[in-house]
Amino acid sequence: MAIVKNKAQPDGASIQLPKHIAFIMDGNGRWAKKRLLPRSLGHNEGGKTFKDIVTYCRELGIEYVSFYAFSTENWKRPKEEVNAIMLLFKQYIADARNYFKHEIRFIFLGDKAMFTPDIREDMLALEEDSKHFNKMTVLLAINYGGRDDIVHACKRICSKVQSGEISIDDIDEDRFQNELYTLHSPSVDLLVRTSGEYRISNFLLWQCAYAEFYFTDVLWPDFNRSELDKAISEFSKRSRRFGGV
Ligand code: IPE
Ligand code: IPE
Ligand code: MG
Residue 48 has pLDDT above 70, yes or no: yes
Q: Say whether pLDDT at 4 is over 90.
A: no
214, 234 in Cβ contact below 8 A? yes
Check pocket membership of 201 for ligand 2, CB cut-off 6 A. Answer: yes
Each as own residue / partner, the long-range contacts of residues 211-217 (CB below 8 Å, 24 or more positions apart, any chain) are: 211/22, 211/187, 212/18, 212/238, 212/240, 214/190, 216/192
The string of pLDDT tens digits covering residues 169-215 is 999 999 999 999 999 899 999 999 999 999 999 999 999 999 999 99
Active site residue 189: no
Task: Look at residue 164 and tell me whether its pLDDT is greater than 70.
Answer: yes
Give the Cα-Cα-Cα angle 57, 7, 56 (nearest 5 degrees). 15
State residue 142's pLDDT score. Answer: 98
Question: Which ligand has an atom closest to residue 68 CA?
Answer: 2
Residue 1 predicted with pLDDT over 70: no
Tens digits of per-residue pLDDT, 75-118? 999 999 999 999 999 999 999 999 999 999 999 999 999 999 99
Q: Give the percent of the chain with pLDDT over 70.
A: 95
Residue-level pLDDT at 166: 98
Query: How far is the centre of ligand 1, averaged over its atoms, from the C-alpha of 106 (Å)?
Result: 22
Query: Which residues are within 8 A (CB) of 17 and not within 5 positions of it... i.e. 6 or more apart?
Result: 3, 5, 6, 60, 61, 62, 232
Q: Whose CA is nearest to atom 10 of ligand 2?
A: 201
For residue 14, the model assigns a pLDDT of 80
pLDDT in tens, 116-157: 999 999 999 999 999 999 999 999 999 999 999 999 999 999
Instruction: Please identify which of the residues 52, 74, 129, 202 carries the catalytic annotation.
Output: 74
Pocket mutation for ligand 1, best pick of 34, 75, 87, 195 (most atoms within 8 Å of C-beta): 195
Q: What's residue 3's pLDDT? A: 66
52 an active-site residue?
Answer: no
Predicted confidence at residue 6, as pLDDT, reads: 52
Q: For residue 167, report the distance from its CA to the centre of ligand 3, in Å.
A: 42
Question: How would residue 15 be classed by pLDDT, with cut points 50, 70 and 90?
Answer: confident
pLDDT exceeds 90 at position 10:
no
**Ligand 1 pocket member 85 (CB < 6 A):** yes
Calculate how far, in angstroms, residue 165's C-alpha sits from the geometric centre of ligand 2: 38
List, in order, residues 6 or more apart from 165 with CB less than 8 Å away: none
The pTM score is 0.96
- Residue 191 near ligand 2, beta carbon < 6 Å: no
